[in-house]
Structures are given as structure tokens and as C-alpha cells.
Amino acid sequence: MSSATAFVALGSATAGAAGDLYGSLAISFGSGSAVVGAGANYSSYEKSDQRAMLECGRRDCRVVVRFVNGCGAIAVRDGSYKWAWGNSRIEAEQGALVALGPDPSPLLTALGSAATGSAAPGSAALGSAAPSRAQILTSECTANAR
């Protein structure tokens, strides 16, 4: 089961200030793999949500992040998904990665494997583990993002 934390920009489904551009990211966790959809540069959250859901394409898709005049990002590590929004792509992506927490230390993971006896018989455990690093699954920005 994957865990998820949302950092969602709250807003109404109607357009805000003149010139505001809205975006949404949707995700589905069904069928053993995540599928995402994005909608950006719309006049309301309602429209960007509809586009993100359409692009996601599954019945169990749900909008997990909304942004206005900015960006949204989804990050993943070992089946755990986190998301964030920010004024720029860098802010959104860093926020999603931070939400996942630090990547495991390869040395500590290898030493942990040796302590639990999970290394293959006759092999040295040190350095044999390959911890997963957090990755950006997707990010999207409105045209007027910084």
C-alpha cells in the first residue's frame, strides 16, 4: 500500500484574478502502477481538474495537487508517493522530494542487511544493497510560473 501526503493549494472552482492560470495533477494507484494526468493553463480549477482527470484516464484517478500561477510535482520512492506545489518547478519538485524524506544511506542500508542476515550466503553485505532514490514522477507548470 502506498502512502501519500498532500500539499494542496486551496481555491474555488471559479476563476480568480484576471490573468490567473490554474493547474492540477491527478494520480491513480490502480493496477499495480501509478498513472498521472496533468492540466495547466486553465481559467479555473474546475477546468484544470477535468483535464488532469481526462489525461489520467482511469476511474480511480483523483486530483492530488492544485496550483495557480505556479507548478505542481509528484515524487516517488519505493511505492510511496508525495506531492507539492510551488511558485516554480524547482520549488514544487523540491517540496515533493522533501515530503518523501531523505534517501536512505547506501552504507547504512548495507550494514542493516548484514545485521539482519539478508545478504546472500557467502557474500559480503557491505555495498550489496541498492536503496531506492526518490525521483520526480511528473511536474507541470502554468505558463506564468516563475
- Please report, for residues 38, 55, 76, 105, 129, the alpha-carbon distance to residue 102 in angstroms, rounded to integers and kept in the order given: 26, 31, 12, 9, 17
pLDDT at 146 over 80: yes
Q: Is the pTM of this model over 0.75?
A: no
What is residue 36's predicted lDDT score, i.e. its pLDDT? 97
70-119 pLDDT per residue, tens: 999 999 998 899 999 999 999 999 999 999 999 887 665 544 444 333 33
Average pLDDT, the chain: 80
1-22 pLDDT per residue, tens: 444 433 333 333 344 577 999 9
